[in-house]
């Protein structure tokens, strides 16, 4: 699995959405090894995009395609500051990965202090989520080489997510929160699902 992430402030969410729809219509079929992804613009005007490929070679091949380059050249002018990029060869999914029917998606980015400990708790966290958060319909965690992470959590809808947050009785198994730092939350109230 290979994950690519980029984010940045944009000037026109509707125009950016149109470009992503155009990518799905015109470029997705050419993206060999593309598994799926999600993108969207937050209320603050920040575009966040997370996509999965079967492997790094497929992702590189896609980046080098002329059609991909032409699409990016139309997207790039919409950034009001330089976008940031991150990649990951290590990633975990739960509940089947990204849910293309999710009505609300939350993306968290931050640092992980002990990746081995986090991944060791993966099964426990999935069991906890199944028991306490039925609003969660899928997810993906990408572990970047610089010690940061990107986590995507899919929900049936925002109302269910907020209700789940209020009534979960905690954010997960004991000690899990202590393993993360500098976490930033990006809420996609209208997620754009990219799926084959």
Domain ranges, ordered by start, for the chain: 2-88, 90-190
> pTM for the whole thing?
0.92
Helix axes 66-75, 56-64, angle to 10 degrees: 70
Q: Taking residues 19-44, what's their average pLDDT?
A: 96
Q: Which of 26-40, 74-88, 153-167 has the lowest mean pLDDT?
A: 153-167
Q: Taking residues 66-76, what's their average pLDDT?
A: 97
The mean of the pLDDT values for the chain is 93
pLDDT surpassing 60 at residue 170:
no
CATH architecture of 90-190: 2-Layer Sandwich (3.30)
Q: Which of 62-66, 98-102, 130-134 has the lowest mean pLDDT?
A: 130-134
- pLDDT band, very low/low/confident/very high, at 172 (cuts 50, 70, 90): low
pLDDT surpassing 60 at residue 139:
yes
- pLDDT band, very low/low/confident/very high, at 173 (cuts 50, 70, 90): low
DSSP assignment of 99-156: -TT-SEEEEEEEEES-HHHHHHTHHHHHHHHHHH-TTEEEEEEEE-TTSEEEEEEEES
Question: Residue 75: which residues within 8 A CB-CB, separation 6 or more?
Answer: 16, 19
Assess if CATH 3.90.550.10 describes domain 2-88. Answer: no
Quote the CA–CA distance of 127 and 112 in Å, as a whole number: 21
Q: Which of 10-14, 16-20, 105-109, 166-170 has the lowest mean pLDDT?
A: 166-170
């Amino acid at each position: 699995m290979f994950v690519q992430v980029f984010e940045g402030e944009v000037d026109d969410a509707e125009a950016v959405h149109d470009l992503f729809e155009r990518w799905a219509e015109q470029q997705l079929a050419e993206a060999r090894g593309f598994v799926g992804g999600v993108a969207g613009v937050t209320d603050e005007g920040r575009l966040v995009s997370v996509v999965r490929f079967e492997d790094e070679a497929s992702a590189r091949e896609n980046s080098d395609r002329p059609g991909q380059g032409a699409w990016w050249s139309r997207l790039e002018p919409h950034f009001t500051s330089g976008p940031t990029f991150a990649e990951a060869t290590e990633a975990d999914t739960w509940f089947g990965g990204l849910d293309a029917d999710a009505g609300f998606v939350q993306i968290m980015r931050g640092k992980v202090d002990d990746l081995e400990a986090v991944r060791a708790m993966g099964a426990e966290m999935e069991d906890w989520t199944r028991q306490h958060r039925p609003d969660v319909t899928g997810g993906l965690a990408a572990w970047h080489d610089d010690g940061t992470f990107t986590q995507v959590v899919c929900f049936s809808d925002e109302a269910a997510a907020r209700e789940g947050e209020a009534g979960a009785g905690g954010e997960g198994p004991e000690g899990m929160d202590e393993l993360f730092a500098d976490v930033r939350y990006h809420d996609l109230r209208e997620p754009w699902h990219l799926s084959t």
